[in-house]
Chains A and B, each alone.
Chain A
Amino acid sequence: MPSDNDFTIRIANVNGTGSASANSLLMKTLFRMGIPVAGKNFFPSNIQGLPTWYEVRASHRGYLARSGSVDIAVAMNAETYQRDLRELSSGGYLIYDSTWPRRDVLRREDVSILAVPLARLCNESFDNARARILMKNIAYVGVLAALLELDLDIIRELLRETFARKKPLLEANQTAIGMGYDYAREHLNCPLPFVARSMDGPGSKIIIDGNTAAALGCVYAGATFGAWYPITPSTSLMDAFRSFCARFRTAEDGARDYCVIQAEDELAAIGMVLGASWNGARAFTPTSGPGISLMSEFLGYGYYAEIPAVLFDVQRVGPSTGMPTRTQQGDILSSAYASHGDTRHVLLFPSSPKECFELAAAAFDLAERLQTPVIVLSDLDLGMNDWVSEELTWDDSYRPDRGKVLGAEELEKAEAFHRYLDVDGDGVPYRTLPGEHPKGAFFTRGSGHNSHGGYTENAGEYQEVMDRLRRKWDYAATIVPAAEIRPAKGAQAGLITMGTGDSACREAADILAGRGVALDYMRIRAFPFGEEVWRFLRGHSRVYVVEQNRDAQLRALLINEAGGRAEQLVEVLHYNGMPLPATAVVSAIEADMTRVQAA
C-alpha cells in the first residue's frame, strides 16, 4: 500500500510529444524535496507516435528498483487507456484527460478515476498548437503537485533554471503548472491519502545516468581515442564523451586532445580501438549486444595478441535485434567467451552510475595491466535512465597504470626484447610501442606465435603461450574488483546478483528479512571471479542467483568458473525487458523455499 513518500506514479504518453521535460521536472522536484526517487523511461524503438511510459518511484527507504505496483496512473495516451487502467494497483488513482470523456471505457470498481480536461484547459490558455500539446504535459505535473502536495516553490525554481534564457517558455510553463494545480484543488479531492513530504535535502547526491557517468570515467582515466557505431542504448555514452571533451579537451585554437571516430560498423570500431591502443593511447568503444557479436573476431585477436582495449556493452534485449529500447543482462556469456578458440575476457559489472564512473576508469588500468580487452557490462536501465547517485569523486593523485610498457631508455639498455616472454612469472609479458626504439620492434599477429613473438606452428611453442595466457587469467582474478558481500545474521541461504540486479536484491533481502528469512548477499563486480566468490559458494548450500536473462547466464558462469554446483544454485530469472522489481525476487525465493520445505 502506498504511504507518504512511498508511492509509484506511471505516466503514459506518446513519444515525440515532449513529455520528457515534464517527467524530469516531476522526478527532480521529488529529488529536491530530499525524497529518494527513481525515474524509469519505457520507450519504443521509434521517433514519433508510439506509446511511451515513465515511471517515478518515491521511496523514503531509498529503494531504487521498480516497486512492481502503480499507485497513480497518468493516462495521456488514448491508445493505452485500457492497459494503463488494467495495470493500476487496487486502490490506485487514474488521471486522464477528460476533454474527451471516456466513462464508458473506463470501468474498474477498485480504483478512483480523476478527470482533468487538460486539452481544454490548454486550448483556453495557449494560442499556438505546439504549446497546446506540450503544456498538457506540464499541466499534469501541476495536477500531481496538488494531489501529492509537491513543493510548488521547488517546481517554479526548477522551471526558472531550465528556461533561464527562454522567457516566453518559462511563462508558459508556469501558467501550465498553475492551471493544473488550480483545477485539481478546485475539482478533485486534494490531497490524496499519501503525499510527498520534504525530507532532509538530497545532500551531495546528484541525478545522472550511467552512460554519462561512464563517459566521465573515460575522460578522467585519460582516454584519448574512441571509436563507435551508433547503437541504442550505448549512443549517449559517446555523445557525453564528446561533449565533455569539447569542454575539457579543446584548445582555444580548436585543436583537440581527443579523437572520436564514427566507424562504418562495429567491426571497424573495435579494429580502430585495437590500433589506437597498440599505438599507445587509451582507447574505448561503447556498444550493445549486436556490436559484441560483430566485434567477436577482433576480441579474440585482442586476447591472443594481448592488446588492451575497453568496451562498454550497454545491454539491451536480445536475441538478434530483440527489443532495442528494453533492458536485459543477456550478454554475459557472449562477452565472457567472445570469439572462437580458447578465449576469455575480463568483465566488469557496474550497478550504479557512480560505479559506471569508477569502473570505467578502472577498466583502462586493468586493460593495460593485463594487456587484454576489458568489457564493462552495463545495461539500458543503468545506462539511459536517470538515477539518484552518490556524488562522483576523484582522487587527484591518481596516475594511469599503463602496465608493463618498455620505453626507449629501457630498450636502449636491454639486451633484447621478447614480446611474449613471462619475465616476472605473473603471466603478463612486457610490451613496447611503435616508434619508440628499433629494439622494441615486434610483429603483432593473431596467428600462432611463440614466447619470443615469432610465428610458430610448433606444438610446444604454441601451447607454452596458451598456458601462460591461462596463468595471466588466474592473476587477473586477483586484481579485478572484488565482490561486495553483505552478510546477514543466521542466514539460511545466499543471494547473488550483479549490475542492476542490486537495487531489487537489496530491497528483496530486506523484505524477506522482515518475514524472518535472512540471506547473505553478494554482488559480483567482476569476472574472472575472485577467491571471495569461491568462498561464498562453498559457504552456502543454497544460493539464489538473480539475473535478467532467460538462460541463467551468470549461474552458468559460476558453475563453470567458480566451483558452483548445479543443485546448489537456484535460478531467479527476469527477462521481459522491464527492469527487475524486488517483488519478483521475493516471490521466486519464497516459492522455492516453500517447495524445499514441502519436499
Chain B
Amino acid sequence: MSYIARPKVSHPALARNDLGLTMRDYQGGMSTLCAGCGHDSITGSLIQAVFELSIPPHRMAKLSGIGCSSKTPAYFASSSHGFNSVHGRMPSVGTGAAAVNGRLQYIGISGDGDSLSIGIGQFVHAMRRNLNMLYLIEDNGVYGLTKGQFSASADTGSTAKRGEVNEQPAIDPCLLAIAAGCGFVARGFSGDRAQLVPLLKAGLSHRGFAMIDVISPCVTFNDHEGSTKSYRFTRENAFPIDHTDLIPPEAEIKADIGRGESQRVELHGGGSILLRKLAREYDIGDRGEAYRYLDARQGKGEVVTGLLFLQEGGADMHELSRLGETPLAALPYGRLCPGSDALAELQNRLR
C-alpha cells in the first residue's frame, strides 16, 4: 500500500491522556486513500478511541488483510506493530498472535471483500473461537482497488456506478456475527463519529471478539444514486437504536444509569457499558431477538446502527485454551523442555 510520512509537528496546548500522550502520538502515515473516503473518518475515530483509553501505542497490534480498508493500519499508531497480511487471512494471523501473547490489544481492520468473500471462513471461525480482539469491517459494498465490482455486502437491487443492478442477496456481517456466536456486535457509520468513538471504546474494552461493521462510503465507486452504501443513503436511512458509553472502572460509582431507558452492562475486565436506548425494542443480550429485529428492520431498507448485541462474560480463546498468566511467547525455555532424564524415562516404554 502507498504511504507518505506525516510531518511531526506538535502544539503544546494539545490535550494529553493518562499516559501524557497527545492524539499526535497515535497518528500514523498520511493516508493515500481518496479524498472524502469513509475509511479516513474511521481512522480518526480510532485514533480518538485509543487515545482516550490511554492504550500505550507499542502495546497495540494492528492487523489487516488486503484492500483499501486494510491500508488503515498504516495511517494510525506508527509506534505499534502492524501486520498487513494476505487477502482474507488476517483473522488467522490474529489468532496465532493472540494465543501466544494475550497482553496486547489486538485491532483487526478488514473490509467487506476481505471478510465476507475471500475471508469469510476465517472471519466466522475467529468469532467462533472468541479471540480477544476488536474487528472492524470498513464496509462500502464495493471493490475499490479493482475499480467498482459489487462486494458480498452490496444490497439486492443496488446499482453499480455504471448502472449494473446487483441481483444477489447481501451478506450482512452483523447478522452473520450474531449467528456465529460473536459476543459483541455493532454497526456504525463513518459519518457519525459521536456514535462511533464510544462504540470503538466499548469494543476495545470487551473481552472476546468485538465486531463492528462500519458503513464507510466509497466516494469514487459507490457514492451515487442507486447505491445503498452512499453517504446520502446511509444518512437518510440510518436508524440508531442506542447510544453507547464506556464507563471506566474508576468512574462507575458516579455514572448515572438513568431510569427505564438506560441499561448498564458490567464488563468482564472492570468498568461497564452504559446503553441509552433510542429505539431498541429488545434485550441486548438476547441473540434470537437481536437477529429477528435486525433482519426485520433491514428488510424495510433501514440501516440499523448502534450496539446490536452484547453478551459479557463468555470464555474467550485464552480461557478456552486454558492458558496461564504468562504469555506463551514469554515462557522461559527451562520451563518448556522436559530434559534428558525425562526423555530417557519416556523411552523405557518404547522397548
Residues of B within 8 A of A225 (CB): 96, 99-100, 328
- Shortest A148–chain B CB gap in Å is 21
Determine if B96 and A275 form an interchain contact, defined as CB atoms under 8 angstroms apart: yes
- How far is it, in angstroms, between the C-alpha of A281 and the C-alpha of B338 when the chains are bound? 18
A385-421 Cβ-contact flags toward B at 8 Å (1 or 0) = 0000001111110111000000000000000000000
With A275-B93, A280-B100, A436-B58 given, is the CB distance from A396 to B81 under 8 Å? no
Binary B-proximity of A414-457 (CB < 8 A = 1, otherwise 0): 00000000000000000011111111111111110000001101
Whether A560 is near chain B, meaning CB under 8 Å from some CB there, is no
When chains A and B are docked, how far (Å) is the Cα of A298 from the Cα of B330?
A: 25
B residues 19-70 in Cβ contact with A at 8 Å: 56-59, 61
A259-B343 contact in complex given A268-B122, A434-B101, C-beta closer than 8 Å? no
Residue of B nearest to A276 (CB): B96
* Cα-based distance from A271 to B66 in the complex (angstroms): 14
* Chain A residue contacts of B329, Cβ below 8 A: 224, 276, 279-281, 433
| Interface residue ranges of B316-351 to A (CB < 8 Å) | 321-325, 328-331, 333, 335-340, 342-344, 346-347, 350-351
Say if the beta carbon of B279 comes within 8 Å of chain A: no
**How far, in whole Å, are A263 and B129 apart by their CA atoms in the complex?**
10
Inter-chain CA distance A249–B85, complex, in Å, is 31
Q: Does A277 contact B (CB under 8 A)?
A: yes
A439 to chain B, nearest CB (A): 8
Most buried by B among A255, A259, A283: A259
Given the complex of chains A and B, what is the CA–CA distance between A283 and B101 in angstroms? 13
The answer to whether B79 touches A224 (Cβ under 8 A) is no
A297 at interface, CB cutoff 8 A? yes
* Cβ–Cβ contact B97 & A276, under 8 A: yes
> B100 contacts A283, CB within 8 Å?
yes
Asked, given contacts A256-B323, A271-B89, whether A447 binds B99 with beta carbons under 8 Å apart, the answer is no
Q: Residues of B within 8 Å of A, CB-based: how many?
A: 60
Query: Known contacts A257-B335, A271-B95: does B351 contact A455 (CB below 8 Å)?
Result: no
Q: Does A18 contact B (CB under 8 A)?
A: no
> Is there contact, CB below 8 Å, between A251 and B324?
yes
A206–B340 touching, CB < 8 Å: no
In the complex, the answer to whether A438 meets B58 with C-beta atoms within 8 Å is yes
Contact call B78/A441, Cβ cutoff below 8 A: yes
Q: Choose the segment among A83-91, A214-222, A463-471, A568-576 that binds chain B (4+ C-beta atoms closer than 8 Å).
A: A214-222
In the docked arrangement, what's the CA distance between A434 and B98, Å? 11
Given the known inter-chain contacts A259-B100, A444-B82, please indicate yes or no for A455 contacting B336, CB distance below 8 A: no
- For B1, the chain A residues whose CB sits under 8 A away are 445, 447, 455
In the complex, A444 Cα to B85 Cα: how many Å? 8
Least CB distance from B348 to A in Å reads 9
Closest-by-CB residue of A relative to B96 is A275
- B3 interface contact, C-beta 8 A: yes
Chain A residue nearest in CB terms to B28: A443
The listed residue (A248, A267, A272) touching B96 by CB distance below 8 A is A272
Q: Tell me if A117 counts as interface (CB < 8 A to partner B).
A: no
Residue of B3, B93, B338, B342 with most partner-chain A CB within 10 A: B93
Q: Mark A256-271, 1 if CB is under 8 A from B, else 0.
A: 1111010111011111
B351 touches A206 (CB 8 A): yes
- Determine the chain A residues whose CB is within 8 A of the CB of B322 once the complex forms: 254-256
Q: Which residue of A222, A270, A437 contacts B337 across the interface (Cβ within 8 Å)?
A: A222
Is B92's CB under 8 angstroms from A454's CB? no
Residue A565 CB within 8 A of the other chain: no
A495 close to B (CB within 8 Å): no
A352 to B316, alpha carbons, bound, how many Å? 40
B304 within 8 A of partner (CB) = no
B233 at the interface (CB under 8 A from A): no
Contact call A441/B57, Cβ cutoff below 8 A: yes
CB pair B337 A283 closer than 8 Å: no
Report if B264 contacts A (CB, 8 A): no
Name, among A264, A392, A398, the residue most crowded by chain B CB atoms within 10 Å (CB to CB).
A264
| Contact partners of B16 in chain A: CB under 8 A | none
CA of A289 to CA of B1 in the docked complex: distance in angstroms? 32
Cα A392 to Cα B338 in complex, Å, equals 13
A278 beta carbon closer than 8 Å to chain B: yes
Interface centre among B56, B86, B99 (most CB of A within 10 A): B99
Is residue B73 within 8 Å, beta carbon to beta carbon, of the partner chain? yes
Asked if A147 is at the interface of the complex by the 8 Å CB criterion, the answer is no
Contact B94 A275 (CB under 8 A): yes
Q: Which residues of A contact B93 (CB under 8 A)?
A: 271-272, 274-275, 278
Query: Which of B83, B96, B347 has the most A CB atoms < 10 Å from its CB?
Result: B96
- The answer to whether A272 and B74 touch across the interface, beta carbons within 8 angstroms, is no
Q: Which residues of A contact B277 (CB under 8 A)?
A: none
Measured in the bound complex, the distance between the Cα atoms of B126 and A275 in whole Å is 13
A283 and B330 CA atoms in complex are apart in Å by 13
Across the interface, do B96 and A441 meet the contact criterion of CB distance under 8 Å?
no
Q: Which residues of A contact B59 (CB under 8 A)?
A: 435
Known A-B contacts A255-B323, A264-B121, A268-B122; the reply to A435 vs B104 at CB < 8 A is yes
In chain A, what residue has the closest Cβ to B74?
A443
Partner of A258, one of B74, B96, B328: B328
CB-nearest residue of chain A relative to B104? A435
Contact: B95 with A207, CB < 8 Å?
no
What are 20 A-B contacts with C-beta separation under 8 Å? Answer: A206-B347, A225-B96, A255-B324, A256-B323, A259-B100, A259-B321, A259-B328, A261-B96, A267-B92, A272-B99, A275-B97, A276-B99, A278-B93, A279-B104, A283-B100, A297-B89, A434-B104, A437-B58, A441-B80, A445-B84
B residues sitting closer than 8 Å to A (CB atoms) are 1-3, 56-59, 61, 73-74, 78-86, 89, 91-101, 103-104, 121-122, 125, 129, 321-325, 328-331, 333, 335-340, 342-344, 346-347, 350-351
